[in-house]
Structure 1
Amino acid sequence: MSLLEVQDLSVSLKTAQGLQDVIRHVNLSMDAGEKLGIVGESGCGKSIFALALISLLPPDSQTNGKVILEGQDVLSLNSTQICSIRGNRIGMIFQEPMTALNPVQKIGTQIGESIRLHLKLSRKQTLERVTELMDKVGLPVSRFPLNLYPHQLSGGQRQRVMIAMAIACNPTILIADEPTTALDVTVQEQILDLIRDLSDSSGIALIMISHDLGVIAQTTQRVMVMYTGSIVEMGDTVDVFQNMRHPYTHGLFSAIPHVGSSLDSRRKRLTSIPGQVPQLHNRPMGCNFADRCPRASRRCQENEPPATWVSDHHRVWCYHPINLSSNRENTR
């Protein structure tokens, strides 16, 4: 049995135009210790999907489908039962540590909160566990006392505190939602190394959410590409990166700037995906990417494409997938 099974998950949020689908019919399975990356443009539903996994969506949202964690449907639990899972069996590193951390509480108190709640340890045992976690994330208490406040730490140090909070109860799944946002390159590399090492040493399954394809390449075994709340391509990270088939995935890779390109006076403009992401209330009937896709046909405009197997571990949702190996460009 898989550690996590997501079955036909759909999420609708309340907007000015009424309830709109933000996540649409997502299916996914993860095994213990597996590392999954989720990529896509801002607004494609990556964070909403993560929040749905721990039932942390707005109260006026509607969720359909199942999120089965170790045989238990998370979405069917009451508030008390779901609180026993958040921070315990599923840990989450949120996007911006300065807003995720409580500015008026000391970092030791914040790290120890979930330990006291879920593990029921004594005050002394909690202090020992917090000290151990601080060492593990590279913030030894000899240099970073537990009575410090978040504003007294740098961005990278605050992110390390967030990681300590997320792994405090030895979760089976760790969700990292853009964990390197606003960090410089050196600190970003340190944080990624830390997350990867913690996942490897503890056997924690990792869900890494990022718009940075380089981050996904460094940290994951499998990747899920999302566009407007739907999966458009999924497979082993190496396979997808080397043999991308969906035009949207290809567009994301083409938009990556290359080192040294700024020195080329004859360089072309940086490649971009034409058009704009459709509004939730104004999505096309068929493939959501059809209006921006140079390969789209009438069928794309009228019907959602089914999954096509590229290989045993690689699927694409596209009527006209790119075949890089033969370089075929005929789409109709």
Structure 2
Amino acid sequence: MLRIKNLVSGGIITNYKCSSKCKHCSYSSSPKWPDDYMTPSMADEIFSILKSLGCDSVHIGGGEPLLKPDKLLGVLEAAQRNDIGIEYIETNASWYKDEASAKAVLKEIKGHGVNTLLISIDPYHNEYIPFWKVKALVRTCSETNMNVFPWLMDFWNDIDAMNDHIPHSLDEYAQLFGQDYPVKLLNRYGLNLKGRALKTYLPMMKKQPYKQILEESRPCKLLSGVYHFHVDLYGNFIPQSCPGFSIPLKELVNGADPDKYRIFNSLESTGIRGLVELAKEKFKYIPKNEYAGKCDLCYDIRNHLVLELGLDLPDLKPEGHYKYI
């Protein structure tokens, strides 16, 4: 059985819908996602389970959680009911309109036990969000005694070199700072190359022979990561650093059937070789000659199953991770 016995720290994905479609997003968030948001009842269920597994606090992210502040408050109330602390809420500042309305939102979430905002500060977000909004939100947080967790201040001067009233493409950054800027950005940010981030950087990655990848196959212990897990608005447990896979958290507590989640189980028990064998035997997958590593091969198989074959597989949820990349 696939089972989790304890968890240390992680995050809650309240929604996948976002005001941006950032090139570095490992969760493939974008404006195209359905307008779904975590319900208070789902939040209660999740927080209750997390508490039983020894997890006393989480961060909240998306998508953009503050697209719907009223819905967010319902999640925060559920956290309080279950004695779960909120370390911070992630935001891209796109929702900022003016000081008065921002102060009202910050006052509400402070009243629900939140003392810190993680504000995204990077060129990827700046492709969609003018920097003046980030600056204004940082200033408003200071005026309302809301702590700011800037992610990352290392990029402040880069972004501030541009006109802060309008967004700027990565091409503009490359023109200003050099054509290798996007590659350097990858390392400076410390990207998790999954989802749209993998798609963005795939053309720049060195290819490996397919057979070599299989020879190096090792079990992907996806469930062994008790740090930085996520649980989404549908109640899916998303393994550490590996979006696009999911098993309902409530099933993992009691033991999830590996036959039901055979895509996940093949990787967790055998590695990429196991998934390839399953895909070839059951789903008529035809491998290419080379890939940019095991994750590229894994995504190619998953895209084949979800997008090309249109299969409804319980461990490859939500489908939007593949559809809205």
TM range (shorter): 0.3 to 0.5
TM-score by length of 1: 0.33
Q: Which has the larger radius of gyration?
A: 1
Report the structure, 1 or 2, having the larger helix content: 2
More strand by share: 1
